Chain A
Amino acid sequence: MKSIAVYNFKGGVGKTAASVNLAYEGARSGQKTLLWDLDPQGASSFYFRIKPKIKGDAKRLLKKTNKALDQIKATDYENLDLLPADLSYREMDIVLDEMKRSKKRFGPLFEALEEEGYETLLIDCPPGLTLVSENAMIASDLIASPIIPTPLSLRAYDQMTAHAKGLGIKKDRFAPFFSMVDRRKSLHREVVTSFIDAHKALNSVIPYLSSIERMGLSREPVAVSEPRSGAARAYRLLFEEIEQLL
């Protein structure tokens, strides 16, 4: 099973849109895919029209992997399932902190998911530098990190990778890509060009497009609601590029 954490400690950078659309692309390519909506806000669950609720709570989910498997729900798309968000996830940090080996608690769940036949796992991580995000980063094969092309965002990315280095996560496990790029802004254009060259970022860029914002209304991946849109194409190319790294 290939696991991809979609993570940036900054909020509002397009993590959820990327998670939902990448998961859809994974499933569409024929891989049995699971999206874990780890963000207590439950936006990924909302996009798939699934209630952001699990039986029990975050503690039970982490301690009993077989119970976690019972919480998985099929989406309306072939090969794509979702492990929904839950409000109790906001206490996951405290739960993890109380557990032994608190930074490596996702491993058993990932193993159980692999045994269940999942080939691709996407994790929509909450923002912030927390034990939850550290667990997701440590356990995943790749950290797909959306970045808005502004100096502050780039600074935050550097801080994040420096922190990850302290956790033993090498920089080559990060796959940064630009998100919400407005090609009309010269700043965006300049930052994208210079950063991609300097940081080995992915070539695929997710533009700032209204079709992505409209996902909130259609509650479907863009490839379903607007299959011919530039956004749908951008996520498909992004998925293909990420897949080559795995």
Chain B
Amino acid sequence: MQTVFNLPETVSVDQLLEALPLAYAEPKKERVKRCYLDTFDGRLHGVDWLLYQEGDELVLERNGERDRFSFSGRIPLLAADLDQSPAARSLQKVIENRALLPVLETVCESCRWPLVDSEQKSHLSLEYQQLSTPQGSHCDRIVLRPMRGYEKSLRRCARALEKMGCAIAPSPLEEWLFAALPDWPKPPRLRSDQAAYSAFCAIAHYQLEVMVLNEPGVLTAEDVEFLHDFRVALRRTRSLIGQLKGVLSAEVTERFKADFSWLGAQTGRVRDLDVWQEQLHQQSAELPADLRAGLEPLLRFIQNDRKRLKRGLDKVIEGSVYGDLKNRWRTLLEEQAETTQGVLAGEPIGKLAARQLYKRIGRVLKDGSAITEASPDEELHTLRIDCKKVRYLLEFFGSLFRGRSMKRMIKQLKRLQSTLGDFQDISTQRHNLNDTLDRMKRQKRTTPECLMATGALLSHLQQEHDRLRAQFFKEFEKFSDPGLSGAVLKELKAQKEPR
């Protein structure tokens, strides 16, 4: 792994070279432009990886290793634009659906001297780097690049540099990159005794910031996750308003409930198509090879649908109705005027949250237990919504309840919700598929191959439907285990009715 040193102002590079225990050979000069990439949510920064474009290659630096691989040349780039090398595959796992966006450009002018022995064999090299960005950041540094088998020479040279006043310096890149990444809002820290109204405003304000942060990405659509994150923040906002009734005044609650419901409807269809397209790509891989091409007309039809709906979505995001909604909501959350407060505004949030969670978990247990093999699918869908409400409450207020049983329950809830979510996706897909096929038939856009492929797909969906229904009973049994749910309800009961 390379060792990076700062260059003291009083020492020249020539002086450093003369002070080394090895001779130096002819230097090689280079000027390298790099474009550092990361996802919008800084996933590579999160795992301490560096990725940059250098010429027509991508270079991934992780744990001191450097891998080069090719890509489509398109930036921003998605997982599908990468090649199938092992490094590219690890990268795909980290970025998932997110696009790699340009974060920072650097220019590195370097002069590299091989440090050689009496046989003119290099043992390592010393590089003088002048690193800069178009934004005006600048850093001069000395890099010792080791070579395998010559660790002793590396140590001797490092010691010589230290004697000359050089100190091991952290790379400024991480700092520059971090500064260049979007400034993500931080989730609020709540106190149990905080007034419900103030806690409500803090949570809702955070969700609003996340929505606003994702707006440019929703419009440019570099990846589908911008819209997803936007909608998650929106759904949380709606859930907060709906579940903490009484914290806002009834009139304000009703108004914003309707406004955000309108925004949900405006943004939902495009997201549905994003999810469906992704599922279709995955499922087509499971179809017999000769049927796969039959899905092409369907995929094209969906893509055209999405393009049309996306134009509508862009108008909404850029339009005055949404702009006005944001302004009104922000004003309410920031001014916290008394007139907007409801009857429960002053109640401690810990107590209110415990009461709500107790009620919601109880509902999940009751509704879930009532589901039998003969129950219609709708009952599972209702339960999924119940679970989602619990999940959001836990996301908002989980930090107020730290019991071990709560953690275990959250884990099990996630599994149950994942099964119910997949089950819902299957139903939505079946509905979408039938609806889209009807429209395609009316427009004479189907082909016999397409009908065969979609027929195979429907039969695959039926199998998945049955499998997930069977899986639901197993997951619900674990979730409703009295040892688990009983302990959680006990904890919540103690908090909602403090003695």
Which residues of A pack against B, CB within 8 Å?
A: 48-51, 71-74, 76, 81, 219
Contact = CB atoms under 8 A, between A and B. Distances in A.
Contacts of A74: 147-150
B121 A49 contact: yes
A49 B150 CA distance: 13
Nearest to B149: A73
7 contacts: A49-B119, A49-B120, A74-B147, A74-B148, A74-B149, A74-B150, A81-B149
B87 to A, nearest CB: 12
Nearest to B25: A76
Contacts of B121: 48-50, 76
B149 A76 contact: no
Interface in B143-191: 147-150
B120 A81 contact: no
B294 interface: no
B394 to A, nearest CB: 44
User: Which of B114, B149, B150 lies at the interface centre, i.e. has the most chain A CB atoms within 10 A of its CB?
Assistant: B149
A17 B97 CA distance: 50
Interface string B99-139: 00000000000000010000111100000000000000000
A72 B149 contact: yes
Contacts of B148: 72-74, 81
A45 to B, nearest CB: 10
B329 to A, nearest CB: 55
A206 to B, nearest CB: 26
- Nearest 6 CB-CB pairings of A with B: A73-B149, A49-B121, A74-B147, A74-B148, A49-B119, A76-B122
A51 B149 CA distance: 11
Contacts of A49: 119-121
A73 B149 CA distance: 4
Contacts of B114: 76
Nearest to B146: A74
A76 B114 CA distance: 9
A127 B149 CA distance: 27
B120 to A, nearest CB: 6
B148 to A, nearest CB: 4
Contacts of A81: 148-149
A72 B151 CA distance: 11
Interface of B: 114, 119-122, 147-150
Given A49-B119, A73-B147, 17 more contacts: A48-B121, A49-B120, A50-B121, A51-B119, A71-B149, A72-B149, A73-B149, A73-B150, A74-B147, A74-B148, A74-B149, A74-B150, A76-B114, A76-B121, A76-B122, A81-B148, A219-B119
A72 B148 CA distance: 7
Contacts, number: 23
Contacts of A71: 149
Contacts of A48: 121
Contacts of B119: 49, 51, 219
Nearest to B147: A74
B22 to A, nearest CB: 13
User: Which of B114, B121, B147 lies at the interface centre, i.e. has the most chain A CB atoms within 10 A of its CB?
Assistant: B121
Contacts of A73: 147-150
A128 to B, nearest CB: 28
A34 B265 CA distance: 61
Contacts of B150: 73-74
A156 B150 CA distance: 41
Contacts of B120: 49
A110 to B, nearest CB: 18
A121 to B, nearest CB: 15
A178 B122 CA distance: 34
B305 to A, nearest CB: 44
A133 B150 CA distance: 29
B24 to A, nearest CB: 14
A158 B150 CA distance: 43
B32 to A, nearest CB: 16
Nearest to B117: A49
A71 B148 CA distance: 9
Contacts of B122: 76
Contacts of A219: 119
A156 B148 CA distance: 39
User: Which of B120, B122, B148, B150 lies at the interface centre, i.e. has the most chain A CB atoms within 10 A of its CB?
Assistant: B148
A81 B148 CA distance: 8
A48 B119 CA distance: 10
Nearest to A49: B121
A41 to B, nearest CB: 17
A51 B118 CA distance: 11
Nearest to A50: B121
A177 B98 CA distance: 52
A113 to B, nearest CB: 13
A81 B149 CA distance: 9
A72 B114 CA distance: 19
Nearest to B125: A76
A50 B123 CA distance: 10
A90 to B, nearest CB: 22
A86 to B, nearest CB: 14
Nearest to B68: A30
A215 to B, nearest CB: 15
A74 B123 CA distance: 8
A137 to B, nearest CB: 27
A76 B145 CA distance: 13
A74 B146 CA distance: 9
A81 B114 CA distance: 17
Nearest to A71: B149
A48 B150 CA distance: 14
Nearest to A30: B68
A79 B119 CA distance: 21
B64 to A, nearest CB: 13
A76 B122 CA distance: 6
